[in-house]
Structure 1
Amino acid sequence: MPRTISENALLKMPASKYMNAAQRAFFRERLLSQASECDLEIRRAMQHLQTPLQADPLDAAVEEESCRHQLRFMGRQQRLLGKIRAALRRLENGDYGYCKVSGEPIGLRRLLARPTTEYCAEVKARLEQNERHFVHQRTG
């Protein structure tokens, strides 16, 4: 297994080396680390939710609001964990780093910023524009 490299070394690689073994190892490690963080945060949120509610009505109301926040946070973390797992599957299948629509390379800088992304910047911008257009049509 190749030794993981630094972000700088990753960015200095020529385009012809896109998604080589070292780059795949780098992103696998990053995604696995993010998955571990998500698991930890979900477990912490679940522990918080298992704490008994306070008997005092005011404290109970504050605790209930805190529980709502924890549930929303857990939902976001679980969705992120699903995206991370999907990215790891794409990595194993050899599809990682390539746009789902165009098949073009997503680019290292974009993957560093959002390792779970499935689209290159151009396709993502077009999808978001279409989404805004449809939302505008429904509300307009």
Structure 2
Amino acid sequence: MTSSRLTPEQLLAQPADDYMNDVQQAFFRDLLETERDELRQRIDLGFHALREFESVSDDADIASREEQRQWQLRLLEREKRLLDKIDEALERLARGEYGWCEESGEPIGLRRLLLRPTATLCIEAKQRQEQRERHQRQA
């Protein structure tokens, strides 16, 4: 069975001892590359839409158009950050570090990686990070 044909259910059914084996790494590489390609297409379309010039004469239309452009720019910035995270995840895969928590060295877990393929922290480390951030905001 090739990695491109592996379903998430089949991935999750693999023994825990097989964590981040070649098949699982290939599955996540395919997933990340597919997400990266789709994201690049959305970014390209977004920039193309921003470049389109619509001649409007009404002040309200001009203001509305500018507000829409600002919203599109924020969305594109967010998608660009996600693209950077995907590239970083692919680099971790190439180095053999993908799927392992940057803080604890423990497995991040297949379920978490399926939900957030760019995750760098296991659930426990992520919760600690969020608690520190909440504490810093309150201080």
TM-score range, shorter chain: over 0.9
Match of 2:47 in 1: 46
Q: How does 1:1-140 map to 2 (within 5 A)?
A: 2-4=2-4, 5-56=6-57, 57-137=59-139
**Deviation (angstroms), 1:51:** 1.0
**Deviation (angstroms), 1:89:** 0.2
Please, which runs of 5 or more residues in structure 2 have no aligned partner?
none
Give TM-score, length-normalised by structure 1: 0.94
Partner Cα distance (1:19, 1:3) in 2: 12
Identity of paired residues, percent? 44
Over 4 Å off, 4+ runs? none
Range with bigger deviation, 3-12 or 108-117: 3-12
Q: Is the 8 A contact 2:29 2:93 kept in 1?
A: yes
Partner Cα distance (1:41, 1:48) in 2: 10
Q: Is the 8 A contact 2:108 2:123 kept in 1?
A: yes
Range with bigger deviation, 29-38 or 50-59: 50-59
Structure possessing the higher relative contact order (Cα contacts under 8 Å, 6 or more residues apart):
2
Give TM-score, length-normalised by structure 2: 0.94
**Deviation (angstroms), 1:53:** 3.6
* Alignment root-mean-square deviation, CA: 1.3
